[in-house]
């Protein structure tokens, strides 16, 4: 792992929400590229280089920000299962 910087640091300045842009969906700052579009491409197995070629307004830092956002969301959203009471 590369460092102890909080995940928010990696995406907070690259991913924004504005009600006037794409109906408030999260987008990459300065673009109309939806976060969920990039995440779906990554989930489908697309390489970062392919995503950057498809969306020339994005930078490599944006793709890393999408991954950091997903990691932070998974950490916050997934419940920890309760330990069964074994007797």
CA–CA distance, 62 with 77 (Å, rounded to integer): 22
CA–CA distance, 49 with 69 (Å, rounded to integer): 19
Structural domains of the chain, count: 1
19 in a domain, yes or no? Answer: yes
Does the structure show a pLDDT above 90 at 20? yes
Element (H, E) at 16: strand 15-16
Q: CATH code at 61? A: 1.10.10.10
| 35-79 residue pLDDT tens | 999 999 999 999 999 999 999 999 999 999 999 999 888 877 666
**Range of the structural domain that residue 11 is part of:** 7-71
76 in a domain, yes or no? Answer: no
What is the per-residue pLDDT for 52?
A: 98
How many Å from the N-terminal Cα to the C-terminal Cα in the chain?
A: 39
Q: Is the pTM of this model over 0.85?
A: no
What is the per-residue pLDDT for 77?
A: 62
85 in a domain, yes or no? Answer: no
């Amino acid at each position: 792992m590369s460092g102890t910087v909080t995940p928010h640091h990696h995406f907070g300045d690259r991913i924004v929400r504005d009600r006037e842009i794409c109906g408030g969906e999260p987008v990459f700052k300065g673009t109309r590229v939806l976060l969920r579009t990039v995440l779906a491409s990554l989930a489908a197995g697309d390489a970062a280089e392919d995503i950057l070629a498809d969306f020339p307004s994005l930078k490599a830092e944006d793709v890393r920000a999408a991954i950091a956002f997903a990691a932070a969301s998974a950490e916050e959203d997934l419940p920890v299962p309760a330990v069964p009471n074994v007797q």
